[in-house]
Amino acid sequence: MQISCRIVAILGLTTLGYLFSHTACAAEKPMMKAVVAHEYGGPEVLKFEEVSQPEPKENEALVRVIASGVNPADPLTLSGKYAREFGTHLPLIPGYDIAGIVEKAGVKVTKLKAGDAVYGYPTFGGGWAEYVTVTEGEVAAKPASLSFTEAAAAPMGALTAWQALVDVAQLGAGQTILIHGGSGGVGSFAVQIAKARGARVIATASTTNQDLLKQLGADVAIDYTKTRFEEIAKDVDAVLDPVGKETLARSYGVVKKGGIVMSLVARPDPAELEKRGIRGAAISVHPDAEDLAEIARLIDAGKIKPIVTQVLPLSEAIAAQQQAETHHTRGKLVLRVADDPKG
């Protein structure tokens, strides 16, 4: 039988009470609310419950989460299909986008201190909770111009777009890029990052999201439900594909010789690449504090803005995950974990 510290206090500091106080109190850990999966599956396996608060290691910081983003890849993680690749294990707390305040830092942490407002991408998730542990390489100072809710919509999507366009494609002024799904979580950042780097942007989206493509800065907006993108996009320097299958297969033909096709969901066909004299890359995102800091600078300069479509309380994570499964979210959906100090 577990005896709480509250009961020990009633017993008083008798020999028995003193003994209880050192055994029961030591065993009693701080608790927190979190969204937890004890088995792999669909959104229905998620449970909103109380769990032990994580304790940061000497190279980690504990962050009090204010908000956490929802990503199209979350259902893949939850399904367990790619557990080995993603490094996940059960019980699983999802949440790969976070914005919050550093509560305390380990002795080997030099760049973070209690009270710092941060945003970032914890490698192994854990953001759908009141507290999460992070390393210095996973977070950066939160963009000053954003609320915590807005900042939580940025890390994974912006990092994916940044690492594809900047690190892999090395996209620059005078080049043209075709961005499929330009209104989505990654696409909406990709359009803005490409424009910030001086590129010409052709982007696709459904009819209802054509206005958003224009707001994001796309030079050419294509309604894929009415027009085949290859009728308009020709001889582009790069393609960013978050769709795969037929969309990826049709994209090889619009890239100029020496250009690149980047896919978030598949490995580009080597035969097609060789035949057309183009390059290909399967994009996988990784946390990077320096990239996050650069993205934050562009956000504060007004060059990039997260698109937050909906904000739900943490307790409604199942509904959020169901929406993520559709892969048709406009911008990003965010879970509110605590009251946002900026609103």
pLDDT per residue as tens digits for the range 39-91: 999 999 999 999 999 999 999 999 999 999 998 888 888 998 877 777 788 99
One-letter identity of residue 264:
L
Domain 157-282: CATH superfamily is NAD(P)-binding Rossmann-like Domain (3.40.50.720)
Q: Which residues of 166-180 are buried (b: 16+ CB within 10 A; e: fewer)?
A: bebbebeeebbbbbb
What is the pTM for the complete model shown? 0.90
| CATH class belonging to 31-154+306-336 | alpha beta
Q: Identify whether the C-beta of residue 206 lies closer than 8 Å to the C-beta of residue 213.
A: no
Question: Three-state SS for 66?
Answer: strand
Task: Say how far apart CA 250 and CA 240 lie, in whole Å.
Answer: 12
- What pLDDT digit, counting tens, does each position of 287-324 carry? 999 999 999 999 999 999 999 999 999 999 999 988 88
Q: Where in the chain is the domain with CATH 3.40.50.720?
A: 157-282
Could you tell me the mean pLDDT of each successive run of 10 residues in the chain, 343 residues long?
Answer: 42 44 59 97 95 97 97 87 78 96 97 98 96 98 97 97 98 98 95 98 97 97 98 98 96 98 97 98 96 98 95 94 79 94 67
**Rounded to 10 degrees, what is the CA torsion of 114, 115, 121, 126?**
70
